[in-house]
Amino acid sequence: MLTDLKISKLKPRNREYSLADGYGLSIYVTPKGVKKWRYRYRFNRKASMISLGKYPAVSLSEARKQREIYQKILFDGINPKLYKDNLRQTQENKITFREAFDKWFDVHKDEFAERTAMKQIQAFEIHIFPNIGNKLVIDLKPVDMLNVFREIDSQGKSETLKKVKGWCSRVFRDCVVLEIINNDPTRDLPSDSFKKRESKHYATVTSPSDIKDLLNTISKYKEIGTYEVHQALNLGAYLLLRPSELTGLLWEEVDFKNNIIRIGKGRMKSSKPHLVPMSTQVLAQFEEIKEYRLSEKYVFPSSINRNASINSESLRMALRRLGISKEKFTPHGFRGMGTTRLYEMGYKEDVVERTLAHSERNKVKAAYNYAQYIEERTEMMQAWSDYLDNLKFINLCGLVLRGLVFKP
């Protein structure tokens, strides 16, 4: 398997030679020292080859992505060379950025969670297509992209800018590989072209006394709000899921037999499936909710429409009704609350981060995290539930001592 270090050390020889990366992808070095990517494959039992561009204009990772694209195309019974020629022919007919985007997305759409893809497409419909959607890809310059991105930046939408810029770059890089254009016009934009903003932090509480007060306050919601929202708020503290992952829970994701929640990749921010071990307390709460079973599909159905779930806004409004301001705590704050306490309880970073479904850049480590940390996470989530219950017990004992709660 190739690395950038290996490629950088390749020197020219009297004759052209190649070094394989695997699965048909190789880099060729000419006598003049030019390094070119080529992808070899067989279609209808005939050998064929496609040029993917020169290195380093086309990086190792980009060449591998193109190999994956052509492998998918082969799997669909399409000759990659004809596919590439068709795109090139389209360029001769003046392909627009919108057309290039649609072709790119059609190949890559399975890489993204459905809700992530929908949000991104909406962002393009609002910020990108009205400005450059009908412009020819070959005519787009760095200054055109800079102007579009700065308009987004001026609205304070740094997260939108980051994601849209990344997708635009991927569309252009595909066009480079397909020899539609020579360079990605977003590649060399200065890093200081946009305003620097502080990372977004969600209001939370972390001290045992504040967590105890929060749990006590949440318990009062059953007196003023709906059953579904109250149960979701309560489970939010125990499960440490993102608000949208929590409120959209499906009954098919709750595995009562194995005491685990299995959330599909389509509902995860990381676009990867996520496992959540259930403590005895969480399992008992799901058993109680199951008895009511107000929806066959959703664990927390909307009281207005049982064919839809409650949403993150339902949780935010509930907290406001309880008198908890957004400056003090948000539904996303359960995650920060749990992270802080779990680290202080001595749990390893890898175990905590995997529980929060944070992406791991190291692929080998990511596979290990997903496959091997279940037992440790199960033990940790049980300890976390016990910790929260102990805080509730302390609070209950205090009420008893003050004569506010009577023992049966």
pLDDT in tens, 280-292: 999 999 999 998 8
> What is the percentage of the chain residues whose pLDDT exceeds 90?
51
pLDDT at res. 91:
53
Residue 218 scores a pLDDT above 80: yes
Give residue 217's pLDDT band: very low, low, confident or very high (50, 70, 90): very high
- What is the pLDDT, as a whole number, of residue 381? 94
Give SS3 for 170.
Answer: helix
Separation CA 76–CA 83 (nearest Å): 12
pLDDT digits (tens, 9 = 90+) for 59-96: 998 899 889 988 888 888 888 888 777 766 655 557 89
Residue 304 pLDDT class (50, 70, 90 cuts): confident
What confidence tier does 231 reach under pLDDT thresholds 50, 70, 90?
A: very high
Among the ranges given (26-30, 126-130, 343-347), the one the predictor scored with the smallest mean pLDDT = 343-347
- More reliable by pLDDT, 290 or 272: 290
Sheet containing 274-277: give its strands across. Answer: 254-255, 260-263, 274-277
CATH class of residue range 94-200: mainly alpha
Least confident interval from 10-14, 216-220, 330-334, 347-351: 347-351
Residues 325-332 have a mean pLDDT of 91
Find the mean pLDDT for residues 265-269: 79
d(CA 253, CA 232): 15
Omega prior to 130 cis, within 30 of 0: no
Domain ranges within the chain, ordered by starting residue: 94-200, 208-401
C-alpha distances in Å from residue 311, one per residue of 112, 223, 258, 320, 345 = 21, 20, 27, 15, 31
Task: Please list the alpha-helical segments (H only) found in 181-258.
Answer: 208-219, 227-239, 243-247
Any idea which architecture 208-401 has in CATH?
Orthogonal Bundle (1.10)
At residue 350, the pLDDT reads 86
Count Cβ atoms within 10 A of the Cβ of residue 331 and give its class: 0-12 exposed, 13-18 middle, 19 or more buried: buried
Per the model's pLDDT, the better-predicted residue between 113 and 397 turns out to be: 113
CB atoms near residue 106 (< 10 Å): 8
What are 172's strand-pairing partners? none
Going by pLDDT thresholds of 50, 70 and 90, the confidence category of residue 109 is confident
Buried b (16+ CB within 10 A) or exposed e, 155-189: eebbebbebbbebbbbbbbbbbbbebbeebbbeeb
pLDDT in tens, 142-152: 999 999 999 98
Q: Is the pLDDT of residue 153 over 90?
A: no
Taking the C-alpha atoms of residue 336 and residue 343, their distance in angstroms, rounded to an integer, is: 11
| Tens-digit pLDDT profile for residues 4-26 | 899 999 999 999 999 999 999 99
Q: What is the pLDDT of residue 372?
A: 54
pLDDT single digits (tens) 185-215 = 998 887 666 766 555 567 899 999 999 999 9
| CA neighbor of 65 nearest in space, from 207, 181, 174 | 174
pLDDT over threshold 60, residue 397:
no
> What pLDDT is stored for residue 348 in this prediction?
87
Q: Could you tell me the pLDDT band of residue 406, with boundaries at 50, 70 and 90? A: very low
pLDDT at 366 over 60: no
**pLDDT exceeds cutoff 90 at 363:** no
In the Cβ-directed half-sphere of 382, how many Cα atoms lie within 13 Å?
Answer: 10
Mean pLDDT of the chain: 85
